[in-house]
Structure 1
Amino acid sequence: MQLVSGRPSAEECLARSAREVRCYDFLDRLAISYERVDHPAADTMEVCADIDRVLGATICKNLFLCNRQQTAFYLLMIPGGKVFHTKDLSHQLGIARLSFGSADKMAELLDVHPGSVSVLALMNDPDRRVRLLIDEDVRKGAFFGCHPCENTSSLRLSTDDLLHKILPALGHEPTFVTLPDAAAPQG
């Protein structure tokens, strides 16, 4: 694995999915600098550990969630090493119960498959049916890592660019949440 700046070459883009190329086009239109590492499919956080070291940023865990009625959908960005408990987030949002959204709903709303979802998939949600939730620990970091809607590449992006360029361009206003660290006592 090698860290490179920017998008793949035009020739390499021909072998990539349209959804991945749209991510590079989107970032380039916004004049956002980013680094990229290409790798075998990474669909678990354990596999992402080696990628994190090359990338120089922690790849965010991106969770596609929904309410019990499957009428409200959420994309949660949390640090890769943080353990997620639905009750912690449900309580903050005032929702009785959250669960993981289905792969079919993820494909319908974000045009991605499990293991490839990231904040960049929100460009496929012009109707803003998915609410973005960002853990405060992600906001505190200078950089974060994410997939460009395919889990065979990972990007290092500036958190400042996320908050001040990417999200405004996507039209998605984030809700910031505070989820406890695994070592923190649960209350």
Structure 2
Amino acid sequence: MEHALYRLLDEQRIRYQRFEHPPVYTCEEAARLIPELPGAECKNLFLCDAKGRSHFLVAVPAEAGVDIKTLGDMLGVKGLRFASPERLKKYLGLEPGSVTLLAAVNDGNQHVTIVVDEALWAADAILCHPLVNTATLSVPVADLARLLAHCGHAPRILAVPRRS
């Protein structure tokens, strides 16, 4: 899966810098184990509505706490909540700890809506796992936008509400 991602990045001329590191499962672990890299650190949340009909991959700055209820109101969905690991595997082909914007490549049927915080999208580059949590890619935002569009996932850019 990871090798197919690199082939696609190369075919689409998506620029990236790759950094290997020990497995990380949280932003706190990443901050402790990964040296400072060129790009904005992000936190990725895989969410669904109360009935499990709508799914969202939400990317925000790493230090941001998200007000999920208000975000659900903004997105027009009721009961927005964290989706299960089974749903993560089914819709994005990922294991917990590997959630990444690059997982859009695994959602050919566009079951998942990509939501990116406007502050994160304003960065020059975003740090993303390449579908595994043992490496990080620094991808210029313009290239990331092209990749997401190629995968049929033009992101919704929002001021994602913060937890107070």
- TM-score range (shorter-chain normalised) is over 0.9
Distance in 1 (alpha carbons) for counterparts of 2:161 and 2:52: 25
Q: How many residue pairs end up in the alignment?
A: 164
The aligned amino acid for 2:28 is: E
Residues 102-161 of structure 1 show CA distances to partners (whole Å, capped at 9, x for unaligned) of 100110111111110111111111100011111111111111101000000000000111
For 2:3 and 2:107, locate their aligned partners in 1 and report how far apart those are by CA, in whole Å: 17
User: 1 or 2 for the larger relative contact order (CA 8 Å, sep ≥6)?
Assistant: 2
Q: Which residue of 1 aligns with 2:71?
A: 89
Cα offset, 1:70, TM superposition: 0.5
- Displacement of 1:52 after TM fit? 5.8
**Higher radius of gyration, 1 or 2:** 1
2:97 counterpart residue number = 115
Partner of 1:137: 119
Residue 43 of structure 2 corresponds to residue 61 of structure 1: yes
CA distance in structure 2 between the partners assigned to 1:46 and 1:35 by the alignment: 22
1:167 and 2:148 aligned: yes
Identity %: 33
Partner residue, 2:9: 27
> What is the match of residue 179 of structure 1?
160
Question: CA-to-partner distance for each residue in 1:58-83, whole Å, 9 max, x for gaps?
Answer: 33211100000011111001111111
TM superposition score normalised by structure 1: 0.82
3-state DSSP of counterpart to 1:75: strand
TM-score, with structure 2 as normaliser: 0.93
